[in-house]
Structure 1
Amino acid sequence: MHTLVYKKLYYNKKFGQNFLKDKKIVKKIINFINPSCLDILVEIGPGLGALTEPICRIVDNLVLVEIDKNVLYFLEKEKYFHKLLIFNQDVMSFNFEKLSIIKKSMLRIFGNLPYNISVKLILYLIKFSNYIIDMNFMVQKEVANRFIAQPGSKMYGRLSIIMQCYYDIKLGFDVGANAFSPTPKVQSTFLQLIPKKIPLYPYNKINFLKEITFLSFTNRRKILKNSLLHIVNKKIFLNLGIDIYLRPEDLSVIQYCHIAHIFYLYKNKC
């Protein structure tokens, strides 16, 4: 039998919970993360402990961020509970910088992320990149494919550009829907995100990159001449070697960084 069995399960739909139950997948994830007893590990959304328990066999202390008090009720009954430092709060308000400073170490973050917050959370974590070694997450397969999409492909877009600016992305393996309970309607991928030591665009100016990519991809059918010329001069495009008759999916990540920088300079002159 390769599934983890729980006597009682309480699913809260608003938290997008799909608990991991396949023991083979759990073992594969642990091998992929390759945790060390010296690591400061942070698990986001531990669920009913499918990953928490085997990680606690390796480390003496594990930080958990979990919003659902019902989940914490289950974890309180486990033998490894004394090893846990638990923050019962919304991860979108959690201060990873503060935790890193308290622990006097950079963090390794992992988790089987709820699909409804995965992208939002990963983008939120960008600002804590200087305090993170790596992040190992289960996400929707389609989202993982968007992360790594290259210029010219249908999947390439805002998310591809922003992710590739700030992270080195390593796809691990795909996970079928039957590995979870309740069973989701989508396939999943386990992956690793390593913050770039030198990002392609500064963290503190990310809003300019977000705005440029938003304007570009709001209507993918529009050429750059129609989507960006009202904020970036035609001559600047020529200086950057960018054809204004290209569509947004035709530009590289670096080219979007250059445009965002020009946009930043323009805004600061106004």
Structure 2
Amino acid sequence: MSERDREHHRERNPEQYQHRARKRFGQNFLHDAGVIDRILRAIRPREGERLLEIGPGQGALTEGLLSSGAQLDVIELDKDLVPILQHQFAGHGHFNLHQGDALKFDFNTLGAAPRSLRVVGNLPYNISTPLIFHLLSHAALIRDMHFMLQKEVVERLAAGPGGGDWGRLSIMVQYHCRVEHLFNVGPGAFNPPPKVESAIVRLVPHTTLPHPAKDHRLLERVVREAFNQRRKTLRNALKALLGADQIEAAGVDGSLRPEQLDLAAFVRLADSLAQPTNA
């Protein structure tokens, strides 16, 4: 049987194939019914809502999301999972599957109204950070996001100034979103069990930014530069961008280390860089 014939047979008879998790896709399939129910209760999907599930895997959450009556789009990278998911859920009138890479997906093609899209995902650890930043570039479409992530990543997302977890990820996500660390999930909830603890996080894009920057790209630049040398004082870490007098004029103590500054202080630094005299 040729590879094409085997693929055709899989598509027509997906129930005969037991999919094995693949390391290259970072797959760990959720199977714990109690955890699945707790996630669904946290999301509380409703009839008529627009949901997007990233990486549905073997459909652990998909059935519960669809049973709410919501319109559900799913994005799955693994081609071998596509016929399995189609076989399970194609009978639902509100189900639409996209085979592809969520990192390259244009969420505008979904046709969702502003601030209507609810995003859900058990995200592979190796792409979680770039995928969150990709989604934030479409924040105007998104009502909220619920993700299963590595616990360490969730702790960084939800961190506050003054600790080792506070950094570029914390600042840039909190610039756009309110962050809630909901609950932790042990390795035994997955097959195969990962070597790390996981956690569920809720991200809610701000309707109005609490600390709007004049240019968010300059904010990203300042934050990146500062935390590339987080052991140095701000005066030294940012010397390629801002002089000591500019840092002081922004109301920031240049002798502090980056992790000691809150979001508002970083925005003031970025805004000082945005002034015409500093262009």
Query: TM-score normalized by structure 1?
Result: 0.90
Q: How many residues of Structure 1 are paired with residues of Structure 2 in the alignment?
A: 263
CA deviation map 1:193-233 (0-9, x unaligned): 00011224558933222211111111221111111133213
Gaps of 5+ in 2: 1-15
Relative to structure 1, is the Cα distance of residues 41 and 204 closer, same or farther in structure 2, using a 3 angstrom cutoff? farther
Distance in 1 between residues matched to 2:214 and 2:71, nearest whole Å = 32
| d(CA) in 2 for partners of 1:124, 1:238 | 33
CA contact (8 A) 1:56 1:80 kept: no
Counterpart in the other structure of 1:161: 171
Instruction: State the SS of the aligned residue for 2:200.
Output: strand
Structure 1 position 114, deviation (Å): 0.8
Alignment partner for residue 232 of structure 2, among 222, 226, 242? 222
| Equivalence for 2:204 | 194
Counterpart among 18, 24, 29 of residue 28 in structure 2: 18
Within the alignment, does 1:124 sit opposite 2:134 as a pair?
yes
The 1:105/1:192 distance shift into structure 2, 3 A limit, reads closer
Tell me the equivalent position of 1:62. 72
Partner of 2:144: 134
Pairwise CA distance, 1:27: 0.4
Q: Please say if 1:97 is aligned against 2:104.
A: no
SS in 2 for 1:77: helix
Listed as ranges, the matches of 1:1-270 within 5 Å are 8-59=18-69, 61-79=71-89, 81-83=91-93, 84-101=95-112, 106-200=116-210, 205-265=215-275, 270=279
- Aligned identity (percent) is 35
Asked if 2 retains the 8 angstrom alpha-carbon contact of 1:40 and 1:105, the reply is no
Question: For 2:73 and 2:79, how far apart are their aligned partners in 1?
Answer: 16
Taking the aligned partners of 1:200 and 1:159, their CA distance within structure 2 comes to 17
Contact 1:126 1:203 in 2 (8 A): no
Report SS of the residue matched to 2:209.
Answer: coil
Aligned equivalents of 1:104, 1:159: Cα separation in 2: 25
The answer on whether the counterparts of 2:49 and 2:70 sit within 8 Å (CA) in structure 1 is: no
Instruction: Tell me which amino acid in the other structure corresponds to 1:24.
Output: G
In the alignment, structure 1 segments of 5+ residues that lack a partner are: 1-5
| CA-CA distance at 1:147 after TM superposition | 0.8
Query: Alpha-carbon deviation of 1:126?
Result: 1.0
Q: TM-score, normalised by structure 2?
A: 0.88
C-alpha separation in 1, matches of 2:114 and 2:167: 37
